[in-house]
């Protein structure tokens, strides 16, 4: 059996309009590399005809394989499922919405052939809405500060991973994770390249505001305890300031006497600190919730059926 050089991993969720155009552009690109390749689609609980199209592709294209999930488990779980069964020395993840052009794949391959074990990409002239661009910039800056990593574009899933990196990721049993950041922790020679970005050909983005916030929480709590440390430091500073303020009021009472002025200011200060306390409880709760998910040891995803794989 020949060694597979390249594995392309593509998570799919309600992308029936994009699958045919995607494979028509992807296949010539991979064929032009002269390498042995496979394409693994993962249907993440689509409610449209995506699975029917993928099933037909596995019959029409010998290099195409498909994994059908039993429900919707998320983009990163879909990629992890494909990683488990991939065989390529180079594994490249790609979204199915065609916003990341398949024609950029040879550039990733070229960087990996130079010895880089993780190749990230940075979207140039993004075709997203202003809100998405601003939110992405905030996430990138915040995550770099909190985790200590240096990645320019966390949201771009067009990335390349060496077999060693994929094997290390497969050894991790986390119930929630962010694959680009996880791969970065294992990388010894990471790099980034500039890639093009296109408007979505059909359909709509699957990342709502809530899912973007959840993703940011996964990044913060999954790869750093800095939020807890910052909150603890803030608590110490607040305690010292409170003691100083209490001493000031005590001295002022003897000098000026009893007074009722400033009561609303005190209430405003009280409400501010109550809000901070609730925020801290939320941060701690996020970490406790992640621990709870890990302790239960439930399956990260459930596969209904696999197509195109050897028995």
Does residue 258 carry a pLDDT above 70?
A: no
Q: What is the pTM of this model?
A: 0.76
Q: Residues in the chain, how many?
A: 311
Q: What number is the average pLDDT over the span 142-157?
A: 69
Beta bridge partners of 43: 12, 68
Beta bridge partners of 37: 6
Given a contact cutoff of 8 angstroms between Cβ atoms, the answer to whether 308 and 58 are in contact is yes
Percentage of the chain modeled with pLDDT above 90: 43
CATH H superfamily, domain 6-204+299-307: Spore Coat Polysaccharide Biosynthesis Protein SpsA; Chain A (3.90.550.10)
The pLDDT value recorded for residue 28 is 94
Q: What number is the average pLDDT over the span 267-271?
A: 71
User: What average pLDDT does the structure give for the chain?
Assistant: 82
Assigned token pair, 66: 């498909």
CA–CA dist 187, 161 (Å, integer): 9
How far is the first Cα of the chain from the last one, in angstroms, to the nearest whole number? 15
- pLDDT tens for 52-94 read 999 999 999 999 999 999 999 988 899 999 999 999 999 999 9
Given a contact cutoff of 8 angstroms between Cβ atoms, the answer to whether 94 and 105 are in contact is yes
The pLDDT value recorded for residue 206 is 56
Given a contact cutoff of 8 angstroms between Cβ atoms, the answer to whether 72 and 45 are in contact is yes
Of 98, 117, 81, 134, the closest CA to residue 191 belongs to 117
The pLDDT value recorded for residue 280 is 79
Of 94, 115, 120, the closest CA to residue 23 belongs to 94
- Count of alpha carbons within 13 angstroms of residue 297, beta-carbon side: 1
- pLDDT tens for 211-247 read 666 666 666 666 666 677 777 777 777 777 777 777 7
What stretch of H or E contains 253?
helix 226-256
Percentage of the chain modeled with pLDDT above 70: 77
Does residue 207 carry a pLDDT above 60?
A: no
């Amino acid at each position: 059996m020949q060694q597979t050089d390249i594995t392309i991993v593509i998570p799919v969720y309600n992308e029936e309009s994009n699958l045919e155009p995607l494979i028509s552009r992807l296949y010539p690109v991979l064929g032009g590399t002269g390498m042995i390749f496979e394409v693994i689609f993962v249907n993440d609980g689509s409610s449209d005809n995506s699975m029917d199209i993928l099933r037909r592709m596995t019959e029409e294209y010998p290099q195409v394989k498909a994994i059908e999930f039993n429900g919707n488990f998320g983009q990163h779980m879909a990629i992890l499922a494909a990683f488990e069964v991939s065989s390529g020395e180079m594994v490249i993840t790609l979204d199915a919405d065609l916003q990341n052009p398949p024609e950029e794949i040879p550039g990733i391959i070229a960087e990996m052939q130079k010895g880089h074990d993780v190749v990230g990409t940075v979207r140039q002239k993004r075709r997203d809405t202003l809100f998405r661009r601003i939110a992405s910039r905030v996430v990138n800056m915040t995550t770099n500060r909190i985790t200590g990593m240096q990645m320019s574009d966390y949201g771009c899933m067009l990335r390349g991973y060496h077999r060693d990196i994929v094997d290390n990721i497969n050894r991790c049993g986390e119930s929630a994770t962010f694959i680009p950041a996880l791969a970065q922790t294992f990388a010894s020679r990471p790099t980034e390249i500039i890639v093009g970005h296109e408007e979505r050909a059909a359909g709509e983005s699957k990342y709502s505001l809530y899912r973007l916030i959840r993703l940011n929480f996964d990044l913060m709590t999954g790869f750093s305890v800095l939020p807890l440390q910052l909150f603890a430091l803030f608590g110490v500073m607040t305690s010292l300031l409170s003691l100083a303020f209490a001493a000031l009021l005590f001295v002022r009472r003897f000098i000026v006497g009893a007074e009722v002025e400033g009561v609303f200011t005190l209430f405003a200060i009280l409400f501010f600190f109550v809000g901070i306390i609730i925020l801290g409880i939320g941060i701690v709760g996020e970490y406790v919730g992640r621990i709870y998910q890990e302790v239960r040891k439930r399956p990260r995803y459930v596969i209904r059926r696999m197509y195109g794989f050897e028995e």
